[in-house]
């Protein structure tokens, strides 16, 4: 089968289009014929091992110190059709069209991949909705999980004012839509070319970060969700309500230390950390899609052999919503 093999840590050109052996599922796994995958910021960070030192070292011990050896095919989001099921699998069957996440197994950049149905390493699979295209289904899980996780941590309520910094990417586009679903008033911040798209998915107000600094506009928000982790911690706190929540999806070490101190010494709460990948959350997101409450935003599409180019594009920071990889036709 054809796959994109991760040969070492580094720039996008370490990803090579190769012919590799087709995998065989274990007893608790399913073999999926992949129709579509995505390139997330997380894929790029793992590829380059672009993490703080306190994370990079344990990741090297996990994946391989000099180069990846444990999991050599990247890709965190997948949609496809089950071709074979292991003998212990009862929840899914051959022919089911499924979507979900691969967890730390990765593996979506290939024509076939094996995934456990209920994984201790993260990852989850659910039946794809009929009203989702393969591309839309592939783009839902990671951004949906993260946005839902943080907004729930903030106890979001109808009528609250929510500001989302970096709203135009994978997590941000779902955060805008979920916050609106929960009844909030949403202000979305991103670059000028993304503002019209953000209006189209429900943002009440949009701000061009190249022209406006939300910390200087005098507005107070019940929830500030910094998806990209690049806003000033001290200035952002001044724009946060006294009992507000400051959510940071990509925190630096200083953000974490200041956040822990703020949460301990004030009524403002700072939340960071990654979402779990629970099946019930994936089904909840799927049901919102089926009801027309949220949708995947897809900015660009690439073929499997163009994954290197897709990684280069994602690293520019200009993507809108998700970048999808078409692996095979159904």
Give me the number of domains the chain comprises: 2
Residue at 284 is within a domain: no
Residue at 289 is within a domain: no
Specify whether 117 is located in the same domain as 180: no
**Tens-digit pLDDT profile for the chain (330 aa)?**
999 999 999 999 999 999 999 999 999 999 999 999 999 999 999 999 998 888 889 999 999 999 999 899 999 999 999 999 999 999 999 999 999 999 888 999 999 999 998 765 556 899 999 999 999 999 999 999 999 999 999 999 999 999 999 999 999 999 999 999 999 999 999 999 999 999 999 999 999 999 988 988 889 999 999 998 777 888 888 999 999 999 999 887 888 888 889 899 999 999 998 888 889 999 999 999 999 999 999 999 999 999 999 999 999 989 999 999 999 865
Specify whether 155 is located in the same domain as 51: no
Report how far apart, in Å, the C-alpha atoms of 226 and of each of 69, 80, 147, 266, 286 are.
Answer: 34, 32, 11, 19, 25
Instruction: At 100, list the tokens.
Output: 């979900």
Q: Which domain holds residue 115?
A: 2-140+296-326
Residue at 280 is within a domain: no
Helix, strand, or coil here: 157? coil
Specify whether 184 is located in the same domain as 214: yes
Compute how many other C-beta atoms are within 10 angstroms of the C-beta atom of residue 2. 15
Specify whether 177 is located in the same domain as 257: yes
Kindly write down the DSSP assignment for every residue of 284-295, as one continuous string.
Answer: HHHHHHHTTS--
Burial of residue 37 (CB within 10 Å: 0-12, 13-18, 19+) is buried
Residue at 134 is within a domain: yes
Specify whether 107 is located in the same domain as 153: no
Specify whether 91 is located in the same domain as 127: yes
Specify whether 98 is located in the same domain as 206: no
Specify whether 157 is located in the same domain as 119: no
CA R_g for the chain: 20
Report how far apart, in Å, the C-alpha atoms of 237 and of each of 86, 124, 187, 246, 254 are.
Answer: 51, 35, 16, 8, 14
Specify whether 115 is located in the same domain as 135: yes
Residue at 283 is within a domain: no
DSSP-assigned letter for residue 239: T
Residue at 98 is within a domain: yes
Specify whether 101 is located in the same domain as 7: yes
Pairwise CA distance, residues 178 & 216, whole Å: 26
**What CATH number does the domain containing 242 carry?**
3.40.50.720
**What CATH number does the domain containing 98 carry?**
3.90.180.10
Specify whether 186 is located in the same domain as 73: no
Residue at 277 is within a domain: no
Residue 152: which of 320, 56, 314, 276 has the closest Cα? 276
pLDDT for 73 equals: 97
Residue at 154 is within a domain: yes
Dihedral, CA atoms, 1, 116, 282, 324, nearest 10 degrees?
-20
pLDDT for 330 equals: 54
Specify whether 88 is located in the same domain as 127: yes
């Amino acid at each position: 089968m054809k796959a994109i093999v991760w040969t070492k840590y580094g720039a996008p050109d370490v990803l090579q289009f190769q012919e590799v052996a087709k995998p065989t599922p274990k007893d608790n796994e399913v073999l999926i014929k992949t129709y579509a995958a995505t390139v997330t910021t997380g894929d790029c960070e793992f590829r380059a091992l672009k993490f703080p030192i306190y994370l990079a070292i344990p990741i090297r011990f996990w994946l391989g110190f000099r180069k990846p050896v444990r999991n050599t095919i990247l890709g965190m989001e997948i949609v496809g059709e089950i071709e074979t099921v292991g003998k212990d699998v009862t929840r899914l069957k051959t022919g089911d069209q499924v979507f979900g996440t691969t967890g730390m197994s990765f593996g979506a950049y290939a024509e076939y991949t094996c995934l456990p149905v209920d994984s201790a390493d993260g990852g989850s699979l659910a039946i794809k909705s009929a009203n989702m295209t393969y591309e839309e289904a592939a783009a839902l899980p990671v951004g949906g999980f993260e946005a839902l996780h943080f907004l729930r941590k903030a106890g979001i309520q109808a009528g609250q004012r929510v500001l989302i910094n970096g709203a135009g990417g994978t997590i941000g586009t779902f955060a805008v839509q979920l916050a609106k679903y929960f009844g909030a008033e949403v202000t979305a911040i991103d670059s000028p070319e993304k503002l019209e798209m953000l209006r189209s998915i429900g943002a009440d107000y949009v701000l061009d970060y190249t022209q406006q600094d939300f910390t200087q506009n005098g507005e107070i928000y019940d929830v500030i969700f910094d998806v990209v982790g690049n806003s000033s911690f001290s200035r952002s706190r001044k724009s946060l309500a006294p009992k507000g929540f400051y959510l940071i999806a990509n925190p630096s070490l200083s953000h974490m230390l200041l956040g822990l101190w703020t949460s301990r010494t004030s009524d403002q709460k700072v939340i960071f950390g990654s979402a779990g990948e629970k099946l019930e959350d994936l089904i909840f997101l799927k049901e919102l899609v089926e009801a027309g409450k949220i949708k995947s935003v897809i900015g660009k599409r690439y073929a499997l052999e163009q994954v290197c180019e897709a990684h280069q594009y994602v690293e520019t920071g200009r993507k809108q919503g998700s970048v999808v990889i078409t692996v095979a036709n159904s």
